[in-house]
Amino acid sequence: MSIQQLQASKQGGPFIQVTVPIPKPNAGEICVRPRAVSINPIDWKNHQFGTMVDSWPAVLGIEGAGIVESVGEAVTTFKPGDEVMCWVQRSQFNGAFQDIFTAQEASVAKKPATLSFEEATSLLICYLTAAAAVVIGLKVNIPGLLKPDTSSTPLQSILVLGGSSGVGSAAIQLLRAALPSATIITTSSSAHHDHLRSLGATTCFERSAQHDTAILKAASPRAYGVDAILDAVGASVEAPAVYEALKSDGPKLYSLVITRPGIELPEDRQSTMVGGQSMIDYDPSAMKNLAKLVEEGKYKMPVKVDVVGKGLQTVQGSLDKVMKVSGVKLVISL
């Protein structure tokens, strides 16, 4: 029995479909037949720069939603036939872009019945990364997740850079749920401002405000500056002046999503760098928490889904579009 696997032949090279044996799950693993997969910025970076690729050819893709094909020993929460959404921890020949991929049990959650496979696949990495940036980076407690180890006063004001990104809009709604009365300032193109306010942002500015801290500060409580910055897109690496928006006598928390290797954290504030894996490492129940929040209507789709193709053969063309998206998540149906 065999499946089709989409392999990127080499860095920047063409993709080819290869016939390979059906994968078998090891203990603690789940094999899933995806019905939809996401196209993420990291897929493009992996293909173009080999950012997180050790050897070529390589199977890319880090998110998918579909049907459980088989489960390994000691897997108790899922069985064949279950509808699930998964974050796929890649290795050379394991990635989402194939007929059946393998995922760790902690990276799989039941697909909420209210969501299509296309919607479900779009949620995962943005949620995990945003949750890590909020809980680990800003030490804010999100109900249902492990509490951060902190005794500090609750944050009253946060600046979210890149609010219309998948991670940024997920972070805004998590922050609003956790801190109902906080001031949340964000940056994005104006087309998304109404949506970001509906998710919980207090004030929205164009991206250009990242170079004009006076505007951002003026929107903070008493115009003193913000307690914390959550940078969802690496904007502060290009516009470090934005740090001046931090209140001079505040906690100066700075939570940065890892957007590429080699970024150094500033030392004069409480800085943390996070990715999606940080959340699974911190709280292995994080994925289950997402499914519960969605089912209870407490977590909305952070960005719209744009289904840009059907079938593995449409992955390569879709990768060319992913670095130009604005407020959407690209998804392929399988």
Ligand X SMILES: NC(=O)c1ccc[n+]([C@@H]2O[C@H](COP(=O)([O-])OP(=O)(O)OC[C@H]3O[C@@H](n4cnc5c(N)ncnc54)[C@H](OP(=O)(O)O)[C@@H]3O)[C@@H](O)[C@H]2O)c1
Residues that bind ligand X in the complex, under the rule CB under 6 A: 40-42, 125-126, 129, 161-162, 164-167, 187-189, 192, 207, 232-235, 257-259, 275-276, 325-327
78/205 with CB nearer ligand X: 205
Phi, psi of 122 (to 5 degrees): -75, -15
82/306 with CB nearer ligand X: 306
Please classify residue 148 by burial: count the beta carbons closer than 10 Å to its beta carbon, then call 0-12 exposed, 13-18 middle and 19+ buried.
Answer: middle
Please classify residue 109 by burial: count the beta carbons closer than 10 Å to its beta carbon, then call 0-12 exposed, 13-18 middle and 19+ buried.
Answer: buried
Please classify residue 215 by burial: count the beta carbons closer than 10 Å to its beta carbon, then call 0-12 exposed, 13-18 middle and 19+ buried.
Answer: middle
At a CB cut-off of 8 Å and minimum separation 6, what does 307 contact?
36, 118, 331, 332, 333
Q: What angle do CA 168, 231, 11 make, to 5 degrees?
A: 85
Region of 270 (left: φ > 0; alpha: ψ -120 to 50; beta: rest) is: beta
Distance of alpha carbon 329 from the chain centroid: 11
16/323 with CB nearer ligand X: 323
User: Least distance (Å) from ligand X to the CB of residue 172?
Assistant: 12
User: Least distance (Å) from ligand X to the CB of residue 22?
Assistant: 29
23/162 with CB nearer ligand X: 162
Rounded Cα distance between 228 and 167, Å, is 17
Q: Note whether 76 and 84 are within 8 A (CB).
A: no
Cis peptide before 57 (omega within 30 of 0): yes
197/207 with CB nearer ligand X: 207
User: Least distance (Å) from ligand X to the CB of residue 192?
Assistant: 5
Q: Note whether 96 and 34 are within 8 A (CB).
A: yes
Which residue of the chain is nearest ligand X when measured via CB? 275
258/307 with CB nearer ligand X: 258
164/289 with CB nearer ligand X: 164
